[in-house]
Amino acid sequence: MEINSNQQKSILITGESGFIGRYLSDSYKNQKNINLIKVTRENGFDLNSDTWVKKLPNIKIDTVIHLAQSNYYNEIPKKAKNLINININSTIDLLEWSKNNSVKKFIYASSGNVYSQSRKKLIENSLLGPSSLYGISKLAGEEIVKKYNNSFDTLIMRIFGVYGPGQKKMLIPEIIKKIKLKNEIFLAQSKGLYFTPIYIDDLINIIRELINRNFNQKNLVVNICGSEVVSLNDLVKKLEKLINKKAKIKITNDEIKYFIGSNELLLKLLNIKDLISLDKGLKLVI
C-alpha cells in the first residue's frame, strides 16, 4: 500500500552531496509535500566525528536514508579509521538517534560487495563473504541495522554498479576517460569483470518506491542492480562505438572477477516491468 502522496513527509538523507544523494534530492525538488533534511559536510555535518548527530534538527522524521560512506575505500590501511568511523560508527550514531526520535523507516545503502565471489547471480540469501575492508564495513553496517528492527522498519539496499551522467572515479566514467586519453585498459583473460550495471534514474525511482511503500516485512534486504550481465570487454566495445575511438587494451592472466546481482526479488517486489538498457544508458552518459 502506498502512502498518500498529499501527506506531508520528512525525509532525512545522509550523503546528499554524493552521486546518488544529489539525484535523489533533485527528484524531490518540486514536491512541496516533502521536507528534505540534507546531511552533508557542506551543511556542517562531519560524520567522521562522534558528535555530528547533536547537530540534527529536533523535528519529526518519517524516513532516514543513510547513503553516506567514506570516500577512502581505496586508501586502506592509511584511511581505515575514516572508513570505519563513517561506514560503521556513523551508522550506529544515526540508528540511535532514529530510535530516540521515533523514525518510522530506516533505509541503509549497502553494497553487492558484501557477498562472497561467485560466477552465479547473487540472490539475497547467497553466501556472504566480503573480500575488502569496504565490503566488511558494509556488512557490519547491515548487521547493526538489523538489530534495530523492533524500533522501526529497516530496509537494506545492496547496490550493484550504479552509473550515470556526472559520476566520477567509478568504473564506467574511468573506462570512458581511458578510451579518450588512450590509456591502457586491463582485461583479465580478454573478458575482465562481469557485472550488472544499473542506470541512476532507475535507482532513484526504486529508492523512491522503497520510501513510499509499506512492506509486510520488518527487515527487508534487496539487491538493486540491472538485468543485463555484461563483461568489461562488452562495455569497452560499446563505448568504443559511442566515442568513436579505439581503446588501448592489454590482456592479462589475472582471475576474472564477478559482480553479478540478481534483481528478481526487486522486480517482483515493486512490479517493475523494465529498466533502462545499458546501450541507452551509455548514450545518456557520453
- Average pLDDT value for the chain: 95
At 42, the amino acid letter reads E
Beta bridge partners of 271: none
pLDDT digits (tens, 9 = 90+) for 17-65: 999 999 999 999 989 999 999 999 899 899 999 899 999 988 999 999 9
Residue 195's Cβ-side half-sphere holds a number of Cα atoms within 13 Å equal to 22
Q: Is 108 helix (H, G, I), strand (E, B) or coil?
A: strand
CA angle, residues 100, 102, 107, in degrees to nearest 5: 100
Grid coordinates standing for 50? 562522534
- Residue 102, pLDDT > 90, answer yes
Tell me what pLDDT residue 6 has: 60
- Residue 1, pLDDT > 80, answer no
Find the mean pLDDT for residues 56-78: 92
Tell me what pLDDT residue 2 has: 39
Q: Kindly give the residue spans of alpha helices, DSSP state H, lying in the chain.
A: 19-27, 80-84, 90-100, 133-146, 171-181, 200-212, 232-243, 264-270, 278-285
For the domain spanning 9-164+198-227+260-275, the CATH number is: 3.40.50.720
Residue 11 CB burial class (10 angstroms; 0-12, 13-18, ≥19): buried
